[in-house]
Amino acid sequence: MKTPTWVIVFLPYIFMLVGAPFFNNDGFILGLPSLAFWVLLWVILTPVCIGIYDIITHRSHKEGTVA
């Protein structure tokens, strides 16, 4: 069964919400509080996920199939 490609777009939103309670502690990662690091990580990864979605959908539209 083929996974819908739109799931890739929602990954940052889902991981930011689900991961926030786990990273809400007193630790530091790369000099940032762990929660700030987690949010910044997904702010950076969001365009990557959207780019992957765009590449997949552009390729499938080019071939004449819709993902």
Question: What local confidence, expressed as pLDDT, does residue 1 receive?
Answer: 46
| pTM of the complete model | 0.73
CA neighbours within 13 Å on the CB side: how many for 15?
A: 16
Question: What local confidence, expressed as pLDDT, does residue 19 receive?
Answer: 87
Where do the domains of the chain lie?
7-59
pLDDT digits (tens, 9 = 90+) for 21-56: 888 888 899 999 999 999 999 999 999 999 988 888
pLDDT of 66 above 60: no
| Per-residue pLDDT band at 65 (split at 50, 70, 90) | low
Strand 28-29 versus strand 32-33 pairing type? antiparallel
Structure-token pair, residue 46: 């969001």
